[in-house]
Amino acid sequence: MSLSTLISLLSLISLLNLSTSTNITQVLSTHPEYSQFNAYLSQTKLADEINTRQTITVLAVTNGALAPLAGKPLSVIKNVLSLHVLLDYFDAKKLHDIPDGSTLSTTLYQTTGNAQNKIGFVNITDLKGGKVGFGSGIPGSKLDSSYSKEIKQVPYNFSVVEISTPIIVPEILDAPSPTSDLNITGLLEKAGCKTFASLLLNTGVLKVYQSSITKGLTVFAPNDEAFKKKGVPDLSKLTNAELVTLLQYHALPSYSPIGSLKSSKDPISTIATNGAGKFDLSVGVAGDSVSLKTGLGDSRIASTVIDSTPFVVFTVDNVLVPKGLTGDSPFPAPTPGPAEAPAPADDSPSPAPSAKAPSPVLSPPAPPSESPNEGPADAPGSESSEDSKADKAAAGEIAPGKIVVFVTVSVGVIVAALVS
């Protein structure tokens, strides 16, 4: 085995181990004293955000210390816990060896765009006697919490440590839930989505959105320029039912912030999905860019209008057009293949649905058959050579001379191979 192959295999094993050990939910699940903290991370979807980042430190708090959060809205709990996710790596050694004895660390809350006056920072200070204190980054704030112990470390990438009490900022803890008196159309209009807001209001879909907020709702709002792009359907030609389906296709019946979307592997059901129509979306991720795939095209998530658990609104660059919305859909279709020659014009009755029509006279000659025992490729009532191949492929048959090999390799097998 070459040295380059050995290095590649070792790198693969390291990546597999890293992906397993950096799942915050799995890490905390083995420590029942953090079960409530872990539950909050899952309910607010912060766990998804944590798992998509590479350099991070989670400041965990025991169940008994979380009393100040009891009864608070999930949106408030999410903001408080966002202060407990540092966008830097800290272990015990680094905490006790802070340059100049004190530092301000950026938190996940700082990335929301709602942080002002250092509210999105945490002050970490090495106190006398080896004690490390934690507090809000707002000048003059007390260091009410302190370092307790290490829980999990993947050096320089992922760390979980326990602190004695949660870091409380009154401006966050006592803030009312933004969804308590929410003006959805006002938010959309301010974000440059006036056309989308007007459609929601005129069709009554706005009421569907409003009734879904408390259970969880994610909205993808096309900006006004998106409705002017080539390929967007003529809305005036859609029936009311089709227009409602189109608008419902722009929302998920669940709370899915950007971290949750990044971790999505399977198609996601929209509000438009029902027994009669499977209107799903797929998610594509390229670095920090997230796009939505409809089957007819992609639309990039451009910005976050509001993210307040359990409600989030994103703007998107293109109108999301689902496949199969109408029978003779005005929506862009996949590129067609070579056009078939027209059938001969005569007055003879059409063949029965189960019978195969003979090839038109003007069609190009079919390729010669591969076996001398085969009849003419396009004889009336028989299948062509290409049709036969397609039917065999559809039936799951494998052509002679073709070998398909499925190989499953575990990490243990790779290691055994390396040792031998």
Domain boundaries, the chain: 24-173, 179-316
- Rounded to the nearest integer, the mean pLDDT of the chain is 78
Q: What percent of the chain has pLDDT over 70?
A: 70
Render 125-190 in DSSP notation, one character per residue. Answer: EE-GGG-EEEEESSTT----EEEEEEEEEETTTEEEEEESS----HHHHTPPPGGGG--HHHHHHH
Q: pLDDT class for 202, splitting at 50, 70, 90? A: very high
CATH node for 24-173: 2.30.180.10
CATH architecture of 179-316: Roll (2.30)
Check if the beta carbon of residue 291 is closer than 8 Å to that of residue 299.
Answer: yes
The count of C-alpha atoms lying within 13 angstroms of the C-alpha of 67, restricted to the half-sphere facing its C-beta, is: 4
Q: Report the pLDDT value the prediction gives residue 129, as an integer from 0 to 100.
A: 83
Q: pLDDT class for 177, splitting at 50, 70, 90? A: low
Structure tokens at 364: 């190009």
Instruction: Using DSSP bridges, classify how beta strands 217-222 and 311-316 pair: parallel, antiparallel or unpaired.
Output: parallel
Check if the beta carbon of residue 209 is closer than 8 Å to that of residue 217.
Answer: yes
Per-residue pLDDT tens for 65-91?
999 999 898 999 999 999 999 999 999
Residue 7 host element (H or E): helix 3-21
Buried b (16+ CB within 10 A) or exposed e, 117-128: eebbbbbbbbee
CATH topology identical between 24-173 and 179-316: yes
Task: Enter the pTM of the model.
Answer: 0.66
Instruction: Assign residue 408 a region (left: φ > 0; alpha: ψ between -120 and 50; beta: otherwise).
Output: beta
Top-confidence residue, 13 or 54: 54
Does residue 393 have a pLDDT over 50? no
Q: Report helix, strand or coil for 274.
A: coil
Min mean pLDDT across 22-31, 215-224, 243-252, 275-284 is at: 275-284
Q: Report the pLDDT value the prediction gives residue 276, as an integer from 0 to 100.
A: 60
Q: pLDDT class for 265, splitting at 50, 70, 90? A: confident
Top-confidence residue, 208 or 358: 208
Check if the beta carbon of residue 356 is closer than 8 Å to that of residue 368.
Answer: no
| Average pLDDT estimate for 253-277 | 88
Q: pLDDT class for 324, splitting at 50, 70, 90? A: confident
